Amino acid sequence: MDDNKQPKKPIFLYVVIIVLVIALAGLGALSFFSLSHLASLQKKVQTLSDTVTEISDSANTLISQADQLDQLKEQEKQQQTTENEGFGSNESSAVNESFTDNSDSSMDSLLSQVKTLLPQDNGTWSVYVCNLLKDSNGVINNTPMQAASLIKLYIMGAVYDNYDAISQSHGGDTVDSNISSMITVSDNDAANTLVNWLGNGDNSAGMQKVNEFCQKYGFNDTQMNRLLLADNSNGDNYTSSKDCGIFLKKIYQISKGIIDSSSLPNAEAMYYHLKMQQRKNKIPADLPEGVQTANKTGELDTVENDAAIIYDTAKGIDLVICFMSQDLTDTGAAQTAIAQDARAIYGYYNE
C-alpha cells in the first residue's frame, strides 16, 4: 500500500542551502582578502606620508641655512665696505684679513683654505695670490713686513728705470752682471753696489732713488731704509706681499703684451733674471716636474719670504704667489710650509 512509502526529501532545498553556504564562504574569503589588502595600502600610505614629512623638514632646514648664509655674506660685504681701503678698481684690501676681486668666488674659497694651512704658532704671515688667467687677486694679512732680500726686486726696478744713465757711467755689461748676481744668488754686495751707483756714489741718495721708484709705480708699502747687511738703527727695509705680487704680475703681463711696457720699464729683462734664480727651496720646491718659476727669495734670522711667477702650468692657469713671514721661531718649518702651501695653491687651479 502507498501508506508504507517514506516521504521524498526536499533535494532542491539542500541544493539551495549548499549554494548559499558556498556563497557565504566566498564572500568571507573576499572580505578577508580585501581587509588584508586595505591594511597593506594603509601601511604604504603611512610610510609615504612619513617620507613626505621628512622631505619637507629637510627642505625647511635647507631654506633656513641658505637664509643664514645670505645674511653672513651680507654682513661680510658690509664689513668690507666699512673697514677696507680700496685697492684697484674691483678689489678691496684689509689688514689682518683677506681681500679678493669680488667677482672671483674661487679666489675667496682658496684664501679660506690657505688661512687654515698657515702656521698658527710660528710667526706672522702674509700671502698674495694672483690667478693670471682671470687677472684676479687675493691677499691674506696685507701689511708691510720685513723685506729681507725681496727689497732687491725694487733695487732691480730702480736700476732699470735709470738704466741708460747708470750704463753710461759703469758699462752695460757690468750693470747686467751685478743685477744677475743680486737676483739669481741674492748677492748682497752686488745689491749695495747698484744702490751706490743709483746715488752717484751716495748710498743714501741711492736708497732714495729706490723709494722714488716705488712711489712712482705704486708700490706704496715698500721702503728702503738701510743697505743690505747694515744694521737697522735708521730703520729696516719693508715691503708687502701685495706690492711684491703686483710687481711680478706687471712683469708677466708686460711680457705677454697684456699691458703697456711703460707700466714697468725693462720688465722682460727683469723676467729673464728671475727665471735664472738659483734659490728654489721654497715656492718652487714641491711643484710638479715641468712647471716653471721665476722667483726671488728673502731671509733673515726670523724671516722667510719668497715671491714667484709660476708658468707653464698644467691647465694654463699661470699664477703669482708671494709668501712673507716674520718673527719666526722655526725658519726651517716656515720654508717647508711655504713649499707645501704653494703646492696646494698650484693644485687648486691646475689639478
Task: Report the distance separating Cα 101 and Cα 134, nearest Å.
Answer: 10
Domains and CATH numbers, the chain: 100-148+223-350 (3.40.710.10)
Question: Is the Cβ–Cβ distance between 308 and 320 less than 8 Å?
Answer: yes
Task: Report the distance separating Cα 213 and Cα 215, nearest Å.
Answer: 6
Question: In terms of DSSP bridges, do strands 136-140 and 98-100 run parallel, antiparallel, or are they unpaired?
Answer: antiparallel
Which pLDDT score is estimated for 120? Answer: 95
Which of 46-50, 146-150, 273-277, 324-328 has the lowest average pLDDT?
A: 46-50
Task: Report the distance separating Cα 348 and Cα 248, nearest Å.
Answer: 20
Task: Report the distance separating Cα 101 and Cα 93, nearest Å.
Answer: 10
DSSP assignments along 29-62, one per residue: HHHHHHHHHHHHHHHHHHHHHHHHHHHHHHHHHH
Q: Is residue 87 scored above 60 in pLDDT?
A: no
Nearest to 305 by CA among 124, 108, 94, 109: 124
3-state DSSP percent of the chain in helix, strand and coil, to 5:
55, 15, 30
pLDDT band at 93 (very low <50, low <70, confident <90, very high): very low
More confident residue, 96 or 19: 19
Which pLDDT score is estimated for 34? Answer: 58
| Sheet strands (E) in the chain | 85-86, 92-93, 98-100, 124-131, 136-140, 145-146, 238-239, 292-300, 303-311, 319-326
H-helix or E-strand spanning residue 95: none
Which pLDDT score is estimated for 92? Answer: 31
Q: What is the pLDDT of residues 221-243, one digit of tens each?
A: 999 999 999 999 999 999 999 99
Task: Report the distance separating Cα 296 and Cα 182, nearest Å.
Answer: 10
Which pLDDT score is estimated for 105? Answer: 84
Roughly what angle, to the nearest 10 degrees, separates helices 172-184 and 267-275? 50
Bridge partners (DSSP) of residue 101 are 91
Which pLDDT score is estimated for 22? Answer: 74
Which of 62-71, 114-123, 131-140, 277-286 has the lowest average pLDDT?
A: 62-71
Grid coordinates representing 13 are: 532545498
Which pLDDT score is estimated for 52? Answer: 57
